Amino acid sequence: MKKTRCSRQAAGAGAVLLAAALAAALGLRLLTCFDNKYTAKAEIAQDGVTVIPEDGVRYLVDGWELYPDALLSPADLAAGEVPPRYAVWAGEYPNLAPFHADGNLYGAATYRLRLRGEGTAALYLQEPLCAARVFVDGRDLGGPGVVTAGAYRPLIRDTVYAFPVHGEAELIIQTANYSHYYGGLWFPPAVGGADAVAHAVASRMIFYGLLCFAALALGLFCASLWLGGGGRRDRTSFCFGLLCLSFALRVCYPFLRLWGVPLVRPLYALEDAAALCGLCCAVRIALALFLPEGWRRLRAGARVLSLGMCGVTVAVPLLVLPLFPGFAIWYGPLISWYKVLCGVFLTGAALCGCVYGRPHAGPALAATAVNGVCLLSGVLAVGSFEPAVGGWPEEYGALGMVLAFAWLMARRSRSMVLENLRLREHLQEEVEEKTRRLDLLRAERAQLMAELGHDMKSPLTALSNMAQIIRLNDIMLDEDTREKMRGIEDNCSILADRVRAIGELAGETAVSARMEPINLNQFLAAFHRSNQPVVELTGPDFLLELTPLPCRVLADRERLSRALENLVFNAADFTPPEGRVILSLDRDGEDAVICVSDTGCGIPEAELPKVFRRFYTTRSDAGGQGLGLAITRAIVLEHGGEIGAASTAGRGSSFTIRLPLLWETEL
């Protein structure tokens, strides 16, 4: 059954792969027909002169004369004493290596073409490598960089030249390259009317602007999500964001060429590094989503190779080529075929994900197949395809991967959101169920403690009574034995008090609090009236100080009264009759502050951190069980408040309760 399922998945993946490859081939064929400089080339008359179009833009592909290793001016060509020339088409030779016995690709060259037309024409010279100078009918129109060998200065910049032409005109372009692995007139220039050329340039800039800013927006959005993820940051999301940013950097070169940024080697290094960084991110995403975890060697090798090639694209143009120019002849093909290898790997990884049933592997397989076909086409179509307005094949392939991975990340995010919603829907039910179980468990524990205390009372009472009978009847007791019997009685009394305290504590925790809005001003006034006679009967004065501001809180009246009784009567026990116990209420920001202070003996500073512990007491007699303050603290915490103590030995103590105020919007 499992084998049959895998076979079906493999067949489906193969169909997707074949369909995507055919669609990519068809798309590239359409690009070759409708957005290709080599199919939109200028017409050449029978006498070999290139005709400038009356409408639109045409590209100067054929009819060029090439003079390698020579910078010839119009005067030199007019004199007739020129070196051998070659009839070439633009882009036929990527550099001058075929003309040098040692394979050196650097040098200078002159290109010559005859034009025919009427009126004012415009010439769009796209990215001459790596410096150029333009002459029309003997007039120097200037150009980017300096072509002279002794003063060579590279500058990659797209330039537009307007010139009048009446009949025939001679176009001469001098080029020099000592910086890049491509050189000369690699891109066919465009010629036509000034408006038509401006429209073509603007269309190209708009196309690349849309690509650049769309990818940049995707990358920045993904980066903001990743940075806002706190400790749970998704590496796949980070790689996708970096993929988008790399693509944006990669397709921004037309703007840099138009502005004429003078950093030739760093710009080409940036372009290659951005392309390979995008492939590296795509490889990392494919490894994370499609390949099994057990393929450790393949995963590790792919990571190392992809990262290493990113370093190569930075190191070679900036460090290696200036020292070893001969390596340039191998560097270009190395980068191109590595891209093809990455395309094959990505397609294989997505195919593997389809076979193993990984989520959303089908669209990724289609995108990687399209990217692989585009990368291979970019290598094989050198010299036969160059976009007039749109992008290169590998740029379309990279765009397809960005869009596919964006869709994949959106589906993953949607799945996570739906899962969170599902969990949130049942969260309240689970909380209520667990709360019910905790209340039941707490009630059962309290009942058990109460029953245990009740069961212990009878044996303790019997033991205490028997000891008392023996001691009182004086049944042959010497003084030592009688003293021990008193000790038994005392310890039985202590145990009885402990059992009573356990029952008391069980009673406090057995029932959930009954919270209701109460006015603390009125509540404390009633509390003071009820307890003032008891406190002042044999003890200190009991005073009340209330703020005129209203203080409403959410509380359980009985439990809050119990907590205040513990504090007030504790304070009365430690305060002499001539002293005072003060109950006060104030407001502090969003809290109501209740304070019980006295003028008693105070608490030693070392003992203050211990006063809220269970069974801890500072009483010297045996009457204290050390539970009053512990119960008070539990009640305050149950109300969402805080309690603290402060004291100065010999001057009194104060206990402060802070409870959150209840505002009108919460009622």
> What's the confidence (pLDDT) of residue 136?
93
- Rounded Cα distance, 444 and 422, in Å: 33
Write down the mean pLDDT value for the chain: 81
Q: Answer whether 134's CB lies under 8 Å from 142's CB.
A: yes
Q: Answer whether 184's CB lies under 8 Å from 96's CB.
A: yes
pLDDT at 175 over 90: yes
| Ranges assigned E (strand) in 157-202 | 159-177, 190-192
Q: What are phi and psi of 582, to 5 degrees?
A: -115, 125
Query: Reading across the β-sheet that carries 541-546, which strands appear in turn?
Result: 541-546, 580-588, 591-598, 652-660, 642-648
Whole-model pTM? 0.61
- Rounded Cα distance, 497 and 490, in Å: 11
pLDDT at 510 over 50: no
pLDDT at 128 over 80: yes
Distances (CA, A) of 36 to 28, 30, 126, 186, 393: 10, 9, 15, 14, 11
Q: Which of 330-344, 532-546, 625-639 has the lowest mean pLDDT?
A: 625-639
Q: Answer whether 599's CB lies under 8 Å from 579's CB.
A: yes
pLDDT at 622 over 50: no
Structure tokens belonging to residue 252: 């921004």
- Rounded Cα distance, 371 and 492, in Å: 89
- Partnered with residue 642 across adjacent β-strands are 658
- State the average pLDDT over residues 306-335: 82
Of 131, 135, 124, nearest to 160 (Cα)?
124
> What's the confidence (pLDDT) of residue 594?
94
> What's the confidence (pLDDT) of residue 452?
61
- Rounded Cα distance, 18 and 24, in Å: 10
Q: Reduced to 3 states, what is the DSSP secondary structure of residue 640?
A: coil
Of 405, 381, 402, 406, nearest to 392 (Cα)?
381
- pLDDT tier, 623 (very low <50, low <70, confident <90, very high otherwise): very low
Helix (H) or strand (E) holding 595: strand 591-598
In terms of average pLDDT, the best of 2-11, 327-336, 358-367, 513-522 is 513-522
> What's the confidence (pLDDT) of residue 235?
72
> What's the confidence (pLDDT) of residue 231?
45
pLDDT at 667 over 50: no
- State the average pLDDT over residues 653-662: 90
- Rounded Cα distance, 274 and 267, in Å: 10
Structure tokens belonging to residue 283: 């490889």
- The CB density around residue 143, as the number of other CB atoms within 10 Å, is 21
Q: Answer whether 6's CB lies under 8 Å from 355's CB.
A: yes
- Measured in Å, how far apart are the chain's first and last C-alpha atoms? 63
- The CB density around residue 175, as the number of other CB atoms within 10 Å, is 25
At residue 150's C-alpha, the angle toward residues 144 and 151, to 5°, is 35
Structure tokens belonging to residue 409: 């990340």
- Rounded Cα distance, 68 and 550, in Å: 96
Q: Are strands 541-546 and 580-588 parallel, antiparallel or unpaired?
A: parallel
Structure tokens belonging to residue 445: 């524990």
Greater model confidence, 597 or 497:
597
Structure tokens belonging to residue 511: 């029932």
> What's the confidence (pLDDT) of residue 442?
67
Of 407, 403, 390, 371, nearest to 279 (Cα)?
371
- State the average pLDDT over residues 493-512: 60
**Percent of the chain clearing pLDDT 70 (strictly above):** 81
> What's the confidence (pLDDT) of residue 109?
93
- Rounded Cα distance, 148 and 131, in Å: 9
Number of residues assigned to the chain: 667
pLDDT at 472 over 50: yes
Q: Which of 317-331, 372-386, 425-439, 514-528 has the lowest mean pLDDT?
A: 425-439
Q: Which of 304-308, 389-393, 503-507 has the lowest mean pLDDT?
A: 503-507
> What's the confidence (pLDDT) of residue 626?
59
> What's the confidence (pLDDT) of residue 122?
93
Q: Which of 256-265, 338-347, 637-646 has the lowest mean pLDDT?
A: 256-265
pLDDT at 460 over 90: no
pLDDT at 229 over 60: no
> What's the confidence (pLDDT) of residue 1?
45
pLDDT at 74 over 80: yes
Greater model confidence, 83 or 326:
83
Helices (H) and strands (E) in the chain, counts: 15, 16
- pLDDT tier, 572 (very low <50, low <70, confident <90, very high otherwise): confident
Of 414, 408, 291, 410, nearest to 360 (Cα)?
408
- State the average pLDDT over residues 584-603: 89
Structure tokens belonging to residue 568: 């007030």
Greater model confidence, 538 or 601:
601
- pLDDT tier, 361 (very low <50, low <70, confident <90, very high otherwise): confident
Q: Is 393 left (phi over 0), alpha (psi -120 to 50) or beta?
A: alpha
Residue type, 290: F
- Partnered with residue 87 across adjacent β-strands are 65
565 alpha-carbon distance from chain centroid: 54
Which pLDDT tens digit goes with each residue over 399-443?
887 888 777 777 777 777 777 777 666 666 676 777 777 676 666
Distances (CA, A) of 436 to 106, 185, 439, 639, 640: 83, 82, 5, 19, 20
